[in-house]
Structure 1
Amino acid sequence: MTEADLCDTYFALLETHTLREIDLLKYSLRHRTSAFSPGVYAAAAGINFSNETDAYRHWLETGRRQGLEWAPGKDTLLKIILKAKDEAYLIDAWVAHHASIVGFENIVILDCGSVDPVYRQKLAIHARRVLVLPYRQYYDDAHWFHANRDFYDLIARNCRYATVLDADEFLVGRDGAFFSNQLVKPILQRYDLPLHCSTWVYATGGLALENSESSTAWAFDVSVTSLAHGTHAGKAIVRSDVLPDIGYLGHNFGVADAARFATEDSLGRLMLLHVKNLPPAVMQRRFLQHLIAKRLVTPHQGQKPLAEIAALVDKPDVEPLAKLYARTYLELETAPWPRVDDSLVHAALIGDQPPQAIPALSTALDAVDFPARLKLWCRELNLEDDM
């Protein structure tokens, strides 16, 4: 293979903004990133390549799936995919937090039809460094491998692990009593598991994300009951070679095939900070997006569809989840900014923070019976005979 024959679709999309269309993912696009360092990659692969083209070809065919370092401080260990729509309040903090884990080049944002001009402006700025793709299907469909075969085939060829997050989720690693986003990659490097299950940790107070001078501390719910629930609700970090077999990249046990790859070692090391304390207007917009996506509410410009949403609550043919969205939207119309006065622990974990000891959170996690939770999920999924 000559240099002219090198096809690198992922970096072609990342570095050529005019190519950023889902329909182009299935093609082999000729490209070579100038950021690639043959010397760094050769050292990581432990191979003395005869020339730079051979090194690049090996990186394409083998090294990316292994997560090897390919330039100083850059690797393909983890791709973090964000599915989002109109998340102006969260996007800057989300990108900064996760770029400090994996680098901008390993972040993929699926824009699910955003219309908010403030968010679109922010997204355009982030698109200078991260791969932003328009996603025109229903946004929850983004979790399914076979519904997005071209996309996930490309992702699987270009990383060791992958995960799909929402804008209110921030990935953090744990090492004993210490927590930080800086611990995520060391965990994935040390524990070569097909599936890592992150634990939702509910962040219930603190940060005004748009104000850089505000406190970065959040109040975390460290009750054992909350964390036990969070082990199910967290998002999975899936190794790329088993992604086609699982067929789903979302909540830890969203499908039975995910549980088949889980072991007791899969649980308890990765945390997912789930931000709950958002302004009522932001929360309303989130619930409204759900109702619009379900085609129960007509999109409005500037005016809240209060009457239309109120009518959903009493309609007998509306599903319970949609009614919950509608009721919560209406309650938020007069709700004060949420406050938490009885939080058990405060810590600054969002952003590029050094590892810090949080004994209360560590103690609570140690009290969660992760093996029992795994057995419970397998029993609920009728998988006990397979384990």
Structure 2
Amino acid sequence: MSSQDIPEENLPAEQAEEHRAVAVADEQNPFADPGLPPHEHRIQDTDERAAKRSERMVALLFTVSMLATIAFIVAYLVIPNDKSIFVFPIGHISAMNFTLGLTLGVALFCIGAGAVHWARTLMSDVEVADDRHAIAASPEVRAKVHEDFRQGAKESAFGRRKLIRTTMFGALALVPLSGVMLLGGLGPAPGTKLRHTLWAKGKRLVNMNTNQPLRPEDVMVGSLTFAKPDGLEETDEEFQNDIAKAALMIVRLQPDNIKDKRELDWSHEGIVAFSKICTHVGCPISLYEQQTHHVLCPCHQSTFDLSDGARVIFGPAGHALPQLRIGVDSEGYLQALGDFEEPVGPAFWERG
């Protein structure tokens, strides 16, 4: 251990003298400790009118922040989503996005600028030097810290500058409302849309590949056929949203191989219809194993047994695939006998 690592009070007198920092550098002590420069008072420390001007400036910044937050909320409620404006040199951009970004930026900037201006002009700027101490503070040190905190709070004039305190609380209270308003951008509540699809009684099952209605003889044992509701076309504006819930997979099993009684009752001559949408995260199921009657989701390997109510036998899926009750119409085409009795796809908070 060198003499630099030994506390000064434990060094011999002659070494302690050399160990101490000096105010003027020389050959023996090349590192000088000039100490703190004399404190210079700011104009706000000596002139109460200047302090009042600074207080009004800080309050103005906090007030502008509040007004900007209010403007953010108004813009979010009033400006149409499809309205665009020209901003040089960017070009045409969304009027709502531009206004929301501008107002929120001004609100946050004014809070920061107000806090900085308050600290630089009104809070105490006296520099205080303290000796380094051990990590575990003694009771005396803790008492000193508490006293320093109380003294700092007093010198910040937080209790005396009521205008600053009031406007700062107002700005800090309003800014979080911007985040609350943004929650509306998640879109309208789904209502009962998650519980219903395009399937209804009398809707024919249409082959996704041929776009032709399906007859029982079109579905062979061991084959996997994908179907959609009659009338749903890829050119429809809402096709992706509708097929995401209505996509169906058709499998023909030997009736003796169907273990679940309800599944057998809801089938037609061993033809069963289940939702194609995995109940884990909504991936489309496309892999079928004829010998075991299992279908596999390619995303996370959830496996369902189509001979036993499409229950989950492996993987992270939380529940079985919903089954669609089917039959045949007067012309011999496969048709739905109603909608799914439970929501398709992943579970959600209202699922019973």
Q: Same fold (TM over 0.5)?
A: no
Under a length normalisation based on structure 2, what TM-score does the superposition of the two structures give? 0.20
Structure with more strand by fraction: 1
Structure with more helix by fraction: 1
The structure with more radius of gyration: 2
